[in-house]
Amino acid sequence: MIEQSTTRRLMMQFAAPVGAVVLSIVMSAFILMIAGSNPATAYGDMLSHAFKLETSVSMINRATPLYISGVAAAIGFKMNIFNIGVEGQYRMAAIFAAYVGGAIALPGILHIGLILVVAMMVGGAWAGIAGALNTERGVNIVISTIMLNGIALGIIAWLVRSWQAEGEIVVVGVGTEPIDDSGLIPNLNFIPEIFGDIRSEELTGVLVIALVVGVAYHVLLNRTVFGYDLRSSGLNPFAARAGGVPPKRMIMVAMLMSGAVGGLVGIAEIMDKARYDPNFVGFLGFNGISVALLGRNHPAGIAVGALLWAFLDASSDILQVTGAAPKEIVDIMRGVILLSAVIGYEIVRRIRVRDEAAQAAARLAEVAA
Amino acid sequence: MALAIELSGITKRFPGVVANDDVNLAVEAGEIHAICGENGAGKSTLMKILYGMQLADEGEMKVNGKTVSFASPGEAIDAGIGMVHQHFMLAPQLTVLENVILGAEPMMRGGRIDVAEAKTHLHEVGDAYGLTIDPDDLVETLEVGEKQRVEIIKVLYRGARILILDEPTAVLVPDEVDELFRNMRDLKAAGTTILFIDHKLEEVLAIADSITVLRQGKTVATVKPEDVSTGDLAELMVGSELPTPETTESTVTDEVALIVTGLTLLDEDHRPAVDDVSVRVHRGEVVGVAGVEGNGQTELVNAIIGTQATAAGSITLLGADITHESVRHRREAGIGYIPQDRHHEGLLLEAPLWENAALGHQTKAPFSSGLWFNRAGARARTEEIREQFDVRTPDIDVSAHALSGGNQQKLIVGREMSASPEVLIAAHPTRGIDVGAQAAVWDEIRHARSAGMATLLISADLDELIGLSDTIVVMYKGRLVAEVDPATITPRELGSYMTGAALDNEVDS
In the prediction, which pLDDT does A3 show? Answer: 47
**Does the residue B501 lie in any domain?**
no
**Does the residue B246 lie in any domain?**
no
B471-476 and B479-484: which strand pairing?
antiparallel
Q: Are residues B152 and B293 in the same domain?
A: no
- Written as one string, the DSSP assignment of B287-343 is EEEE--TTSSHHHHHHHHHTSS--SEEEEEETTEE-TT--HHHHHHTTEEEE-S-II
Contact B328 A244 (CB under 8 A): yes
Rounded to 10°, the helix A39-50/A2-34 angle is 120
**Does the residue B130 lie in any domain?**
yes
Q: Which domain range does residue B191 map to?
A: 3-228
In the prediction, which pLDDT does B17 show? Answer: 64
In the prediction, which pLDDT does A326 show? Answer: 85
Å from A245 to nearest chain B CA?
7
Of B397 and A162, the structure prediction assigns the larger pLDDT to B397
**Does the residue A239 lie in any domain?**
yes
Å from B204 to nearest chain A CA?
37
Contact A232 B351 (CB under 8 A): yes
Q: CA-CA distances (angstroms) from residue A195 to A51, A59, B483?
A: 12, 16, 84
- CA separation for the pair A262, A87 (Å, rounded): 8
Chain A residues in contact with B400 (beta carbon < 8 A): none
The separation between the first and the last C-alpha atoms of chain A, rounded to the nearest angstrom, is 19
Contact between B210 and B200 (Cβ < 8 Å): no
Contact A242 B330 (CB under 8 A): no
Chain B residues in contact with A231 (beta carbon < 8 A): 351, 355
Q: Are residues B156 and B178 in the same domain?
A: yes
**Does the residue B169 lie in any domain?**
yes
Q: Are residues B99 and B216 in the same domain?
A: yes
Chain B residues in contact with A226 (beta carbon < 8 A): 371
Å from A257 to nearest chain B CA?
17
- Under DSSP, the state recorded for B346 is I
Q: Are residues B373 and B395 in the same domain?
A: yes
Please write down the HEC assignment for all residues of B398-462.
Answer: CEHHHCCHHHHHHHHHHHHHCCCCCEEEEECCCCCCCHHHHHHHHHHHHHHHHCCCEEEEECCCH
Tell me whether residue B113 is exposed, middle or buried, using C-beta atoms within 10 angstroms of its C-beta: 0 to 12, 13 to 18, 19 or more. Answer: middle
Q: Are residues B156 and B213 in the same domain?
A: yes
Q: Which among A225, A356, A363 has CB closest to B373?
A: A225
In the prediction, which pLDDT does A358 show? Answer: 80
User: For chain B, which residues lie within 8 Å of any Cβ of chain A, measuring from their own Cβ?
Assistant: 305, 307, 326-332, 337, 339, 344-351, 355, 358-363, 368, 371-373, 375, 392-395, 398-399, 401-404, 407
Residue A183 has a CB neighbour count (10 Å cut-off) of 28
Top residue of B331, B392, B410 to mutate, by most chain A CBs within 10 Å, is B392
Cis omega (within 30 of 0) on the bond before A17?
no
**Does the residue A21 lie in any domain?**
no
Is A364 in CB contact (< 8 Å) with chain B?
A: yes
Average pLDDT of chain A to the nearest whole number: 90
The domain boundary, picked from B401, B420, B439, lies at B420
- Under DSSP, the state recorded for A215 is H
Å from B302 to nearest chain A CA?
9
Top residue of A359, A363, A366 to mutate, by most chain B CBs within 10 Å, is A363
User: Of A87, A59, A8, A4, which is closest to residue A204 (Cα–Cα)?
Assistant: A59
Chain B residues in contact with A238 (beta carbon < 8 A): 344-345
Tell me whether residue A146 is exposed, middle or buried, using C-beta atoms within 10 angstroms of its C-beta: 0 to 12, 13 to 18, 19 or more. Answer: middle
Contact between B186 and B156 (Cβ < 8 Å): no
Is A110 in CB contact (< 8 Å) with chain B?
A: no
Chain A's closest residue to B398, CA to CA, is A356
Name A25's Cβ contacts closer than 8 Å, sequence gap at least 6.
A43, A333
Q: What's the structural domain count of chain A?
A: 1
- The average pLDDT across A73-81 equals 95
Contact B404 A360 (CB under 8 A): yes
Contact between B299 and B310 (Cβ < 8 Å): no
Single-letter amino acid, residue B350: E
Chain B's closest residue to A227, CA to CA, is B373
Q: Are residues B90 and B18 in the same domain?
A: yes
Contact A360 B394 (CB under 8 A): yes
- CA separation for the pair B411, B351 (Å, rounded): 13
In the prediction, which pLDDT does B449 show? Answer: 92
In the prediction, which pLDDT does A2 show? Answer: 46
The torsion angles phi and psi of B411, rounded to 5 degrees, stand at -65, -45
Contact A359 B402 (CB under 8 A): yes
B74-106 residues labelled b (16+ CB within 10 A) or e (exposed) = eebbebbbbbbeeebebeeeebbbbbbbeeebe
Chain B residues in contact with A218 (beta carbon < 8 A): none
pTM of the full structure: 0.80
Is A6 in CB contact (< 8 Å) with chain B?
A: no
Contact A242 B349 (CB under 8 A): no
A residues 320-359 lying closer than 8 A (beta carbon) to B: 352-353, 356-357, 359
Top residue of A236, A249, A350, A363 to mutate, by most chain B CBs within 10 Å, is A236
**Does the residue B403 lie in any domain?**
yes
In the prediction, which pLDDT does A5 show? Answer: 62
**Does the residue B503 lie in any domain?**
no
Residue A173, Ramachandran bin (φ over 0: left; ψ between -120 and 50: alpha; else beta): left
What ipTM score was computed for the predicted complex, to two decimals?
0.87
Taking only the tens place, the pLDDT of each residue in A123-149 is 999 999 999 999 999 999 999 999 999
Chain A residues in contact with B361 (beta carbon < 8 A): 243
Residue B243 has a CB neighbour count (10 Å cut-off) of 14
In the prediction, which pLDDT does B495 show? Answer: 80
Contact A232 B347 (CB under 8 A): no
Chain A's closest residue to B350, CA to CA, is A235
Q: Which domain range does residue A183 map to?
A: 66-295
Q: Which among B327, B375, B393 has CB closest to A244?
A: B327
User: Of B200, B199, B237, B205, which is closest to residue B218 (Cα–Cα)?
Assistant: B237
Chain A residues in contact with B407 (beta carbon < 8 A): 360, 364
Q: What's the structural domain count of chain B?
A: 3
Task: Return the H-helix or E-strand segment holding A112.
Answer: helix A108-137
- Sequence length of chain A is 369
Contact B394 A240 (CB under 8 A): no
Chain A residues in contact with B401 (beta carbon < 8 A): 353, 356-357
In the prediction, which pLDDT does B16 show? Answer: 56
Q: Are residues B68 and B189 in the same domain?
A: yes
In the prediction, which pLDDT does B247 show? Answer: 58
Contact B392 A363 (CB under 8 A): yes
- Under DSSP, the state recorded for B105 is P
In the prediction, which pLDDT does B328 show? Answer: 96
**Does the residue B35 lie in any domain?**
yes
Task: Return the H-helix or E-strand segment holding B237.
Answer: helix B230-238
- For the domain that residue B52 is a member of, what is the CATH number? 3.40.50.300
Give the three-class secondary structure for B84: strand
Q: Which among B345, B373, B394 has CB closest to A224?
A: B373
* E strand intervals along B81-144: 81-84
Contact B371 A224 (CB under 8 A): yes
Q: What is the mean pLDDT of each run of 10 residues along chain B (509 residues)?
A: 87 76 92 86 87 90 91 90 87 90 83 86 85 86 86 90 88 82 91 88 90 89 90 81 70 92 89 93 95 88 95 95 96 95 92 96 93 95 93 88 86 94 94 76 90 93 87 92 89 81 53
Contact A232 B363 (CB under 8 A): no
Task: Return the H-helix or E-strand segment holding A291.
Answer: helix A284-294
Contact B328 A245 (CB under 8 A): yes
Residue A330 pLDDT > 80: yes
Q: Are residues B284 and B217 in the same domain?
A: no
Chain A's closest residue to B376, CA to CA, is A223
- The average pLDDT across A20-34 equals 89
User: Of B63, B80, B59, B53, which is closest to residue B26 (Cα–Cα)?
Assistant: B63
Residues of chain A with pLDDT > 70: what percent? Answer: 95
Instruction: Give the count of Cβ contacts less than 8 A between chain A and B.
Output: 112
Tell me whether residue B290 is exposed, middle or buried, using C-beta atoms within 10 angstroms of its C-beta: 0 to 12, 13 to 18, 19 or more. Answer: buried
Q: Are residues B196 and B113 in the same domain?
A: yes
Chain B's closest residue to A368, CA to CA, is B392
Q: Which among B326, B401, B403 has CB closest to A246?
A: B326
B416-430 residues labelled b (16+ CB within 10 A) or e (exposed) = bbbbebbbbbbbbbb
- CA separation for the pair B372, A272 (Å, rounded): 37
Q: Are residues B40 and B77 in the same domain?
A: yes
Chain A's closest residue to B391, CA to CA, is A364
The torsion angles phi and psi of A273, rounded to 5 degrees, stand at -100, -10
Chain A residues in contact with B393 (beta carbon < 8 A): 360, 363
Top residue of B308, B361, B362 to mutate, by most chain A CBs within 10 Å, is B362
Chain A residues in contact with B330 (beta carbon < 8 A): 244
Is A361 in CB contact (< 8 Å) with chain B?
A: yes
Contact A364 B404 (CB under 8 A): yes
